[in-house]
A and B are shown apart, each in its own frame.
Chain A
């Protein structure tokens, strides 16, 4: 289609019509997906405004009769308070992710782009760590952590993470393989050290992957409740999800759905923000990284 041609040939017309129909179909599909993803979330938000008995009602009712904000106020009365639990979670995130990501990316770089003796062995060695179910390690690990006084502190959730995240490392390796080795060769010819190549060439090129994985890891920590419940419950270091699990459990006989939902709504807001911020990054950085050439 040259911009000069004004009149459309019948074939072009047909193609245009076809494109319009397919556009409409895409829109319908997209909106349907939006319905699927939004509805449960929407339900959660609406339930948080219901009254406790109303939330237990058997009749199908989407909207609360009256919008109650009580559950949101009640979040402050928890022990520890919801704000404290959020702060605890943020502390863990900040303590783990920056160092953990750097360590992970560095190791991935060695695996993906460097000469490393027994590479496959080391990779599988590290990955075998992922293959042992946590339930099996829990008892011995708990005992050790308990012996050194870490139970009731966030240390069991922080320290292991500082040594890297193997699943993330595996992702980086896969991703780095698609980065042209020529870039690294060029760096080597210029006499740059491996560390410099990693920091100045590799890190920027894998930025989208980092952004995606950081969002993932952040979310993983944010939404994890099994380990935090085991290690932190009963202490002032309780994380958001452990607190929600506690609220949910405390009410087992007479569930307080609105309170749990209000907590979930509040806890989801920071992640939505993080996501929106990172989304911008990993779209922008792609254009800048020169990978599109």
Chain B
């Protein structure tokens, strides 16, 4: 019996050995993928649509052809897994995408290499000053933006200004159906001058007068409203003084109430109950909404899939005299790993050269522009983007440039007068260390059922009651950030 036992133990060991063998052989494959200390071999993390991935693959090929000694391993993920992986990965990639919303956190953490010594003023002058300024951070004073002692942490990838776009065919149809004065409507839809909120609400109400407001199949004025844009265009913000104090004041409350009342009072936007249904894109493509928001990247899909004409107008501004149309700008930069640079300066040089090339190469910018992905990063190409010889929609795409350049007017193509200037500002999350404050604020608005509220007074009192909570969130965040 003992013999038999041994016999069977042999089998167990055989199984164990087999698993070890499998393990070993896979480990062997794995080792090939290990970190490379070769200064000419880079890893590059990014994400994008298939068209963008394709562009990057071509660009990398071109870069390798121009620099035969350099090898780049491009790795792309789902956009929603990207930051999760970035958090989890201890060996950060050599060159990587860093969205504006997460920039502060990682620049502050020392994960991104300080590029001050690797880039000249001249080189940076080739790019939008707004984009360059965005990626300066001073870890000592904990302040964003270019200032004495600030470090430059990322080469801008692009600036993505968001504006309103409308379906030309549907607009004409609704003008006719509601017997509106065509010229009056088109006066409002100027690319140079923003409507006020009242004008905008009235216009949307007029355009959708014929609609059955209880039917889910109705045509809406707008599918949703960007809260950041409502804030900025009413001279409000979520917080003040470098995110030290909360910004809940009358302007803030007006912005939130405007957003809510578009649905509850004017009924030109889907109600809370209908939200989470068909997304803005689907509604726009199916001609179920006259207006929606678009960024330059949306052109890629609009050019190929949309069956109607479209054009852009600036975001409406609050009703006060001192407000201006301030839109939201999304952006991203190419970062370089600081840990890698500390270990391997030669490799850091290769990585910086590559990142710089991606940010500043004309080929790269031209390809992205022609694909309908972005407004070129290079100032010198701004004219190409708005040039009328480039026959693509939207006709008034210079508005994208206005939003980017509204404050500094660095390319001299800025088209509107100073008093009703059109400009843009980075998304609110760019300015804060984490997003708990915003998650909690939005949850509060949800929990209090404010999306169903019609009364301004009730919205006001609910938000005012939240002041302490928002301040507590900001305090907690600043404690983590500024110590």
Contacts and interface: CB of A to CB of B under 8 A. Distances in A.
Interface of A: 52-53, 56-58, 78-79, 95, 99, 102-103, 106, 138-139, 142-143, 146-155, 158-159, 162, 191-196, 229-230, 233-235, 245-246, 249-255
A99 B75 contact: no
B22 A162 contact: yes
A162 B80 CA distance: 30
Given A143-B90, A230-B84, A194 B8 contact: yes
Given A78-B50, A230-B85, 9 more contacts: A57-B286, A95-B26, A143-B88, A149-B33, A150-B30, A192-B4, A195-B5, A250-B53, A255-B282
A196 B89 contact: no
21 contacts: A57-B286, A58-B278, A58-B288, A95-B22, A99-B19, A139-B88, A142-B88, A146-B88, A146-B89, A150-B27, A152-B75, A153-B33, A155-B23, A158-B22, A195-B12, A233-B76, A249-B78, A249-B81, A253-B298, A254-B281, A254-B285
Contact of A233 (B18, B81, B282, B283): B81
Interface in B281-305: 281-283, 285-286, 288, 297-298, 301, 305
Nearest to A140: B88
Contact of A245 (B33, B75, B78, B288): B78
A148 B281 CA distance: 43
Nearest to A254: B301
B408 to A, nearest CB: 29
B32 to A, nearest CB: 8
A148 B77 CA distance: 21
B26 A159 contact: yes
Contacts of A139: 87-88
Contacts of A245: 78
Contacts of A106: 12
Given A56-B282, A193-B7, A195-B8, A253 B75 contact: no
A238 to B, nearest CB: 10
B282 A195 contact: no
Given A230-B85, A250-B48, A195 B9 contact: yes
Nearest to A103: B15
B78 A250 contact: yes
Contact of A153 (B7, B26, B45, B301): B26
B86 to A, nearest CB: 11
A196 B283 CA distance: 66
B22 A56 contact: no
A234 B76 contact: yes
Interface of B: 1, 4-5, 7-9, 11-12, 15, 18-19, 22-23, 26-27, 29-31, 33-35, 45, 48-50, 53, 75-81, 84-85, 87-91, 217, 278, 281-283, 285-286, 288, 297-298, 301, 305, 307
Contacts of B23: 155, 159, 162
Contact of B15 (A102, A146, A246): A102
A246 B82 CA distance: 11
Contact of A152 (B33, B53, B84, B217): B33
A58 B4 CA distance: 70
Contacts of B49: 250-251, 253
Nearest to A99: B19
Contacts of A159: 23, 26
A57 B31 CA distance: 48
Contacts of B35: 149
Contacts of B45: 234
B89 A142 contact: yes
A143 to B, nearest CB: 5
A195 B286 contact: no
Contacts of A143: 88, 90
B18 A149 contact: no
Nearest to A259: B50
A26 B346 CA distance: 75
Counting chain A CB atoms within 10 Å of each CB, the highest count among B29, B81, B297, B298 belongs to B81
B30 A155 contact: yes
Given A159-B26, A254-B305, A193 B4 contact: yes
B53 A79 contact: yes
B308 to A, nearest CB: 12
Given A149-B34, A251-B49, A196 B91 contact: no
A161 to B, nearest CB: 10
Contact of A147 (B53, B80, B90): B90
A197 B435 CA distance: 59
Given A154-B26, A250-B78, A138 B1 contact: no
B75 to A, nearest CB: 4
Given A195-B8, A230-B84, A52 B90 contact: no
B56 to A, nearest CB: 11
Given A95-B22, A253-B301, A246 B217 contact: no
A265 to B, nearest CB: 20
A92 to B, nearest CB: 10
A48 B236 CA distance: 46
Nearest to B6: A193
Given A99-B15, A149-B34, A234 B26 contact: no
A250 to B, nearest CB: 5
Nearest to B4: A193
Contacts of A235: 33, 75
A252 B49 CA distance: 8
Nearest to B287: A58
Given A53-B305, A148-B30, A99 B7 contact: no
Contact of A99 (B9, B22, B285, B298): B22
Contacts of B88: 138-139, 142-143, 146, 230
Contacts of B281: 56, 253-255
A106 B16 CA distance: 13
A291 B459 CA distance: 69
B30 A158 contact: no
A255 to B, nearest CB: 8
B4 A196 contact: yes
A193 B81 contact: no
Counting chain B CB atoms within 10 Å of each CB, the highest count among A78, A154, A230, A254 belongs to A254
Contacts of B19: 99, 103, 162
B305 A149 contact: no
Contacts of A151: 89
Which 9 A-B residue pairings sit nearest by Cβ, starting from the closest? Answer: A195-B8, A234-B75, A249-B78, A254-B301, A142-B88, A149-B34, A193-B4, A58-B286, A233-B77
B31 A246 contact: no
A146 B91 contact: yes
A159 B23 CA distance: 7
Contacts of A162: 19, 22-23
